[in-house]
Structure 1
Amino acid sequence: MDYLPNHSDKVNLDKLSYYSDIVLLNSTRCEEIPLSLLLLINRSKGSFLAKGFGSKCSSYNLSGSKNFTDAPKGEGTIRLGKTLKKFIHQRLNVGHLIFLNTASILPLRNGIRLVGLSFSTKAPRLQILAKNINKNSLSENKDIFNQWLVGFTDGDGSFSIVRQNDKWSLTYIIGQSTYNLRILHFIKKQLGSSGSIYIEKNRTQAHFRIRDLVTLEKVIFPIFDKYPLLTTKYFKYLKFKEAHSILSNTSYTKSEKDSLIFKILDSKPDILPYISPAWSIVNYKVFNYETASQVMSKSWLVGFTEAEGSFYLVSKSKDKIVSETVIVGRIIHAFEITQKLDEIVLIAIKHLLHINTNVQFKKAGYYTIVTTNSRAIENIICYFKNTFKGMKAVEYRIWARSYLNDKGNYLALRKIRDNIRIMKARTNSN
């Protein structure tokens, strides 16, 4: 069956996911829903009853309303209007179609029919009728961009309070290698051409910055007040905003401002390690997909990954010669994000991307989440497809295509890896 729903067939999604038209039968590990899933049709009531395997059940109708009720694990249900012809099963934001196979409807007693489900993961005409983040929506949707910017700032941004020449300077700043200069121009454009871009004398580093107090108040603060930072930068933002309030207050003398801002700079969190209060809605604990999704949006994660994520090829073994025979080494795909602080952020990313490995703390003094697992890599490829704006988009496309086309081909992957290194070196030298 090759059916795409019209507007009346739209089904709203559970609030913990990112697509508004996907029915989550198991929102934590959807890929583990067994093929023995049965769909029951109650002929007398004219409704579909899909047996779920999660801890929630949701009731839907074609007008888009929904109700959430708790149900024992393994007994969740989803009721759908009788004219709905398709489920979209989400495996980490990947559309898998579950089509009704009407030819397999078998009559049963008591007015109940058993319907067989045919599963298809190959649907080139699949169109998810939902709001989804992509490189176009980043430019066109203000809310999506703002969340993305907060994520990017959590990765590579800072709020600077500096005293120079007996004057205070407040600067919102995002730093990047000139290799990724285009992302700074994109941010500047999206913020209404506010701020300026400065390229350092060595031509390898560039910064986007906003210093004007009025622009900070009218452009930057509304974004970060609505969408809070998820890392320890939240505390730095609070100090930055408080310093802004002091400098903007004409009732203070210069000495009073100096004293108050020095006090702000010396202030420290009451509890260490500091965790952004944004995580308070899950009691500062993330242990599955749902709790991660309540705090971390896909827009934020795309922005954070654009700043901090690494898509790379790693050698698991090198070429070697044994008895005059060359044994070719092995190169595999890897994804990694590191953070000096904020372990909870990496734990949430682990659950959102369905990475099986745990967050690790390295002796060098930082946390990392890294995977080379094939299933996780495939999830990550699908999750970030067509989302990045800067040079990360180029790196991601090369990385993803090489996985799909050249996985296991050592010579091809080594050539691709070398070409990426050359591309970066040339860009940074210009």
Structure 2
Amino acid sequence: AKRNGNTLWWVKLSNSGDTLKLLVPNYSRKVISGWTNYSCTEIIQKIFEKIMGYRGSKSDFNMKSVKEQRVDGSLWIKQIHVRCTLMGFERNYQINNPSKQLNIKNFSTLQPQPKLNPWLVTGLIDAEGSFIISINRKKELKLGWFVRSIFSIGFHKRDLSLLLQLQQFFGGIGSITLTQNMVLYSVAGIKDLTTIIIPHFENFPLLTQKAADFILFKRVVILMSNKDHLTIEGLHQIINIKASINLGLSDILKSEFREVSSVERILIITNKIPNPNWVSGFVTGEGNFDVRFSKSKNRLGLQTRLRFRIKQHDRDLKLMELLIKYLGTGTIEKDPRFPAVYLIIEKFSDITKIIIPFFDKYPLLGIKLFDYLDWCKIAKLMNEKSHLTIAGLNFILKIKAGMNKGRKITKI
């Protein structure tokens, strides 16, 4: 097949009328390592919907917000390979958000990864996931209200491949929606929730206060699986439960259902970190690796400092303290502006002897892995005292400029 004069190898998929494009890098270095012009970024080939015979369904779920710096995908280190992405079954193709039509489909050269560790998945959801009960007007229905239970997780659109990995972990269920700069993986089918999503979190429990949302969410899913949401009594039960989940009831629901009796929301008490992979998943979502410079009396006039941080709502202060005990280092700082706390590690010896060995053994995912690898480069330069030279400092400044929000990658 040809597009813009370039030949693409393709193969027919057994479960779809569409084709899987296998893209081979142009340069010999890419063939050897799987890298693009910038080390560790994906190679993206954009395919128009009309070329792919697009048949995705519409979604009425609008994603409102997503956290910072989520960017491009995944990498495979220490092995020679060609990478490609499987999008799952045809029913799980990326779907359009009705608020903004998409003009392209995206296929990357990401090799299907080994199945994610289940504790890593739970850590990732503890950081970024949501359990949502949606209740909206729908006049066509007998009760006039449409109820949905939605499990979701969102990132910046450049971390699409991370969501594809997550979808693959859950057996291809759910859908991935792109809108503006955000990408959302969501599962709303009651059968999928009861047979796959809920059992996962029963076997690998959440550790943050988000676990309380999950417990209430599960009660609603059970009610819906029994069709109770189609009765006025069941609808009222669900509204009472929703009042205790996340931000509670909307103003519209409060005005329409005045006699609401919110159910009790339990306090989650976590006594131990069950698995180191949970930490990797949690840090993939909530962690930050940064480089700071301060004035110094040394001959360069600048002091270089590395910092590792995890930000979390202050309701999970006890969990952050437990994490410090688990890692064997760190301090807690409260955010004076918001109800949030930071776990902070700045001591260079702890960074090189504890943090780096930990994440080398239990790797991060997505763009956070790229930031971590650049952070490690700077740690190595500092260990060699290169940061005390003009050339070394300039090199560190260059690396820092390309980290976090400064990272430039191929657009989706």
Is 2:212 the partner of 1:220?
A: no
Q: Distance in 1 between matches of 2:296 and 2:182?
A: 34
Q: Distance in 2 between matches of 1:245 and 1:152?
A: 25
Matching residue of 2:155 = 176
Shift of residue 191, structure 1, vs aligned partner: 1.3
Shift of residue 181, structure 1, vs aligned partner: 1.8
Matching residue of 2:216 = 239
Is 2:355 the partner of 1:363?
A: no
Q: Distance in 2 between matches of 1:337 and 1:252?
A: 39
Matching residue of 1:167 = 146
Shift of residue 195, structure 1, vs aligned partner: 1.0
Q: Distance in 1 between matches of 2:382 and 2:348?
A: 13
Shift of residue 314, structure 1, vs aligned partner: 1.3
Matching residue of 2:301 = 328
1:374 is matched by which residue type in structure 2? F
Shift of residue 139, structure 1, vs aligned partner: 5.3
Match of 1:296 among 260, 274, 298: 274
SS of 2:350's partner is: helix
Matching residue of 2:287 = 309
Shift of residue 319, structure 1, vs aligned partner: 11
Q: Which has the higher contact order (CA 8 A, sep 6+)?
A: 2
Q: Distance in 2 between matches of 1:345 and 1:269?
A: 24
- Using the aligned pairs only, state the percent identity: 20
Shift of residue 413, structure 1, vs aligned partner: 1.4
Q: Distance in 2 between matches of 1:252 and 1:163?
A: 10
Match of 2:358 among 363, 371, 383: 383
1:171-191 CA-partner distances (Å, limit 9, x unpaired): 100111123222111101111
Match of 1:147 among 95, 115, 119: 119
Relative to structure 1, the CA distance from residue 381 to residue 347 in structure 2 (aligned partners, 3 Å threshold; closer, same or farther) is: same
1:108-148 CA-partner distances (Å, limit 9, x unpaired): xxxxxxxxxxxxxxxxxxxxxxxxxxxxxx95467xx2111
Give the 5 Å matches for 1:54-93: none
Q: Distance in 2 between matches of 1:243 and 1:317?
A: 56
Relative to structure 1, the CA distance from residue 356 to residue 252 in structure 2 (aligned partners, 3 Å threshold; closer, same or farther) is: closer
Is 2:374 the partner of 1:398?
A: yes
1:187 is matched by which residue type in structure 2? L
**Structure 2, unaligned stretches of length 5 or more?**
1-111, 139-144, 245-261
Matching residue of 1:354 = 328
Matching residue of 1:276 = 268
Q: Distance in 1 between matches of 2:183 and 2:280?
A: 21
Match of 1:418 among 380, 401, 406: 401
Alignment TM-score, normalising by the size of structure 1: 0.57
Q: Distance in 2 between matches of 1:299 and 1:327?
A: 40
2:126/2:207 contact within 8 Å kept: yes
Alignment TM-score, normalising by the size of structure 2: 0.60
Is 2:246 the partner of 1:254?
A: no
SS of 2:403's partner is: helix
SS of 1:385's partner is: helix
Question: Between Structure 1 and Structure 2, whose CA radius of gyration is higher?
Answer: 1
1:250-273 CA-partner distances (Å, limit 9, x unpaired): 3664212211101112246868xx
1:154/1:231 contact within 8 Å kept: yes
Q: Distance in 2 between matches of 1:319 and 1:398?
A: 27
Q: Distance in 2 between matches of 1:318 and 1:240?
A: 53
Q: Distance in 1 between matches of 2:160 and 2:187?
A: 16
2:402/2:408 contact within 8 Å kept: no
1:276 is matched by which residue type in structure 2? I
Shift of residue 352, structure 1, vs aligned partner: 2.1
Q: Distance in 1 between matches of 2:122 and 2:288?
A: 19
